[in-house]
């Protein structure tokens, strides 16, 4: 890539560090797409699981012991 590329460090869930090179106006999806082209990254993250697609998830902080209703879970989306 050109000199104006960004090299984005990414720590995957296993704790190892990988790098994605993207355009300066790139998005998080561009980072994910770049990492998915690296077989060692997908093998490390998935292990022996089948690749069923990738998505970002939002982390929410809720009080311990919250009782979830089905409607609440459906509002969160992504199945």
Backbone torsion region of residue 40, taken as left when φ is above 0, otherwise alpha when ψ lies between -120 and 50, otherwise beta: alpha
**Closest listed residue to residue 33, CA positions, set 47, 46, 22:** 22
What confidence category does residue 79 fall into, taking pLDDT thresholds of 50, 70 and 90?
A: low
In a domain, 48, yes or no: yes
What confidence category does residue 74 fall into, taking pLDDT thresholds of 50, 70 and 90?
A: confident
CB 41 within 8 A of CB 35: yes
CB 37 within 8 A of CB 43: no
What is the span of the domain harbouring residue 37?
Answer: 1-54
Query: What's the pTM value of the predicted model, to 2 decimals?
Result: 0.61
In a domain, 64, yes or no: no
Half-sphere exposure of 45 (CA within 13 A, CB side): 19
Q: How far apart are CA 69 and CA 63, in angstroms?
A: 15
Q: Count structural domains, the chain.
A: 1
What confidence category does residue 20 fall into, taking pLDDT thresholds of 50, 70 and 90?
A: very high
Report pLDDT digits (tens) over 9-19. Answer: 999 888 999 99
In a domain, 74, yes or no: no
Higher pLDDT, 77 or 5: 5
In a domain, 36, yes or no: yes
């Amino acid at each position: 890539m050109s000199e104006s590329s960004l090299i984005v460090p990414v720590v995957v869930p296993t704790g190892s560090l990988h790098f994605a090179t993207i355009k300066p106006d790139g998005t998080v999806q561009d980072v994910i797409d770049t990492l998915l082209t690296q077989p060692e990254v997908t093998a490390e993250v998935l292990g022996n699981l089948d690749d069923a697609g990738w998505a970002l998830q939002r982390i929410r902080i809720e009080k311990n012991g919250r009782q979830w209703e089905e409607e609440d879970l459906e509002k969160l989306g992504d199945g």
